[in-house]
Structure 1
Amino acid sequence: MTYRARREKLRSVLSSSDCIRPGSVYDAISIRIAEDLGFAIGMFGGSVASLAVLGDPDIALITLTEFAEQIRRMSRAAALPVLVDADHGYGNALNVRRTVQELEAAGAAGLTIEDTLLPQAFGEAKTQLISLEEGVGKMKAALDGRGDPSLVILGRTGAASITSLDDAIRRAQAYEAVGVDGLFFTGIKSKAELEAISAATKLPIVLGGAPEEMSALDYLRAQRVRIALQGHAPISAATQAVYETLKALREGTPPKNLRGLASSELTSRVMREADMKARSADFLGLKK
């Protein structure tokens, strides 16, 4: 599937009347598994990128080059459309433009640009936002940097939990007016807040987590939420599995007695071994 076809698939999700849960992915193996299990799209979060690539917390230490390269690896491994968290665009509006160009070339189906002040300001413990004007400039730059018009660009804000609901709505309306393809919200704490946002905007909504009372997909559909994240459990599960396996080996458990290992059939499928054997037969003359 071409990059454009992946982007058009993501656009079809946003333009539908449905609400879906994306598969959280972070490397070649996880994206193949998500694809095989039938997820419509994948989500590559900034926090999992930092953990998978650097082993560091989500404090804006990962570089654009490192982030784009991980997306490139996933894009090669599977055709699943992936929405990626491009954080603050790795700098000011001009950096945002470059970020869009790099992530588009790496195969991202869509990306989010947020208005959080990153990296964290000296001496300031609380999360801060850039001004609305600077946020608008970043959205304009993101759209200007897009070479493929099918690439999805979402304006993202966490203002609801940082400043106020009114500020979140003002920012969303300003980003909507600039021409982004959708709006990504974090920090929404109640149905009343989501309903106010939905009533004040027109674009498809992506929700980055929400209280249990807002988990029903029928309710989210009615509020124009088209993609609803549910955290990044897969990398957490993988971390625990690796820990338990290494711990058991360190304590003397024989490899044959280890529990929770992938079967040879699953490993073969994830590696696309059958495809590789077919290519080896066709291109190298090896027996299948």
Structure 2
Amino acid sequence: MRSTTPREKFRAVLSGNQCVYPGSVYDPISARIAEDLGFEIGMFAGSIASMTVLGAPDLIVLTLSEFADQARRICRAGSLPLMVDADHGYGNALNVQRTVEELEVAGISGLSIEDTVLPRRFGSGGKTELLSVEEGAGKMRAAVAGRSDPNLCIFGRTSALAVTGVEDCIARVKAYEATGVDAIFLIGAKDRAQLEAVAAEVTLPLMLGGLPASMMDRPYLASLGVRICLQGHQPFSAAVQAVHATLKALRDGVAPSDLPGLPSDALMKQVTRNADYDRWTDTFLE
């Protein structure tokens, strides 16, 4: 039941008429903070997973098991519906099916599979390349076939707007819609004209990432069928800065009692669910 309720909440967002900004999370504590602050959805990005788990840049060196393990830790910490970026599904269409199976068991509420050629191909020069529409659609069909819980939401993701343009993007989203995915995840819209052209051809809910600041207008986005829009992944970066500043201050001789920016004891107890553990201790150990 722990995973069913978040998935129902997630589907309610997709079937609603509002656009939400998800909270970018990366571990159990950050997910609890996002939940306590009222975020409707948590977002666990592949790039953030790579940095959190491996301390590595987003070069697709993270494995499925490592990603699923961290997603499981996040999901078990609370009831925040979790959307995850499953990249290319860690291989071909058969690997995509396995990816969906593993992430569903981990407790996530939604996942995206993208049509980017990943990992980086030899000789590509770092240029983003897309799969053929046929191979991309095959991955989406495999993702749909891989789920057991119909409440799990699957997003077909494409960066075509930024790579090949509006016409190819429309062709791709129409092909992906036909596979039975629940929503479309668009990356890299540069202006309103691009987004409006694609939205006019899409019947499924939209999720967006990589928008310019000038387009971050939730009522406008909602009117186009956008239900989820990423703001970025600043919380992890902020945490890195805070840890660096704290360790540097200690190394430079600042007394622990004089460190700025530390959380209150009450906040630490809240995010670690201290009251629950006190109650369980009294019930089971005393």
Q: Which residue of 2 aligns with 1:53?
A: 53
Q: Return the alpha-carbon distance in structure 2 between the equivalents of residues 4 and 174 of structure 1.
A: 29
Deviation at 1:164, TM superposition (A): 1.4
- The 5 Å alignment of 1:182-197 reads 182-197=183-198
Deviation at 1:209, TM superposition (A): 2.5
Aligned residue identity for 1:11: R
Q: Return the alpha-carbon distance in structure 2 between the equivalents of residues 222 and 54 of structure 1.
A: 39
Q: Which residue of 2 aligns with 1:8?
A: 8
Cα RMSD (Å): 0.7
Q: Which residue of 2 aligns with 1:266?
A: 267
**Structure 1 residue runs of 4 or more that deviate by more than 6 Å after TM superposition:** none
Q: Return the alpha-carbon distance in structure 2 between the equivalents of residues 62 and 148 of structure 1.
A: 26
| 1:65 and 2:101 correspond | no
Q: Which consecutive residues of structure 1, in runs of 5 or more, have no partner in the other structure?
A: none
Q: Return the alpha-carbon distance in structure 2 between the equivalents of residues 4 and 264 of structure 1.
A: 33
Q: Return the alpha-carbon distance in structure 1 between the equivalents of residues 95 and 75 of structure 2.
A: 23
Q: Return the alpha-carbon distance in structure 2 between the equivalents of residues 107 and 23 of structure 1.
A: 17
Q: Return the alpha-carbon distance in structure 2 between the equivalents of residues 184 and 48 of structure 1.
A: 18
Q: Which residue of 2 aligns with 1:36?
A: 36
Aligned residue identity for 2:172: R
Q: Which residue of 1 aligns with 2:256?
A: 255
Q: Which consecutive residues of structure 2, in runs of 5 or more, have no partner in the other structure?
A: none
Superposed CA offset, 1:197-245 (max 9, x none): 1101110000013112211111001111000100001001000000000
| 1:170 and 2:171 correspond | yes
Give TM-score, length-normalised by structure 2: 0.99
- The 5 Å alignment of 1:204-219 reads 204-219=205-220
Aligned residue identity for 1:245: T
Q: Return the alpha-carbon distance in structure 1 between the equivalents of residues 5 and 269 of structure 2.
A: 27
- The 5 Å alignment of 1:88-103 reads 88-103=88-103
Deviation at 1:162, TM superposition (A): 1.0
| 1:74 and 2:61 correspond | no
Q: Return the alpha-carbon distance in structure 2 between the equivalents of residues 244 and 194 of structure 1.
A: 40
User: What is the aligned length?
Assistant: 285
Give TM-score, length-normalised by structure 1: 0.98
Q: Return the alpha-carbon distance in structure 2 between the equivalents of residues 158 and 278 of structure 1.
A: 48
Tell me the SS of whatever aligns to 1:200: coil
Deviation at 1:15, TM superposition (A): 0.5
Superposed CA offset, 1:7-47 (max 9, x none): 11111100101111000000011000001101011000011
Superposed CA offset, 1:114-151 (max 9, x none): 00000000011201111100001000000000011110
Q: Return the alpha-carbon distance in structure 2 between the equivalents of residues 12 and 46 of structure 1.
A: 24
Q: Return the alpha-carbon distance in structure 2 between the equivalents of residues 134 and 39 of structure 1.
A: 35
Q: Return the alpha-carbon distance in structure 2 between the equivalents of residues 259 and 220 of structure 1.
A: 39
Superposed CA offset, 1:56-115 (max 9, x none): 001101000000000110111111000000000000000000000000000110100000
Tell me the SS of whatever aligns to 2:178: helix
Aligned residue identity for 1:46: G
Q: Which residue of 2 aligns with 1:244?
A: 245
Q: Return the alpha-carbon distance in structure 1 between the equivalents of residues 214 and 248 of structure 2.
A: 38
Q: Return the alpha-carbon distance in structure 2 between the equivalents of residues 73 and 146 of structure 1.
A: 20
Q: Return the alpha-carbon distance in structure 2 between the equivalents of residues 68 and 250 of structure 1.
A: 36
Tell me the SS of whatever aligns to 2:200: helix
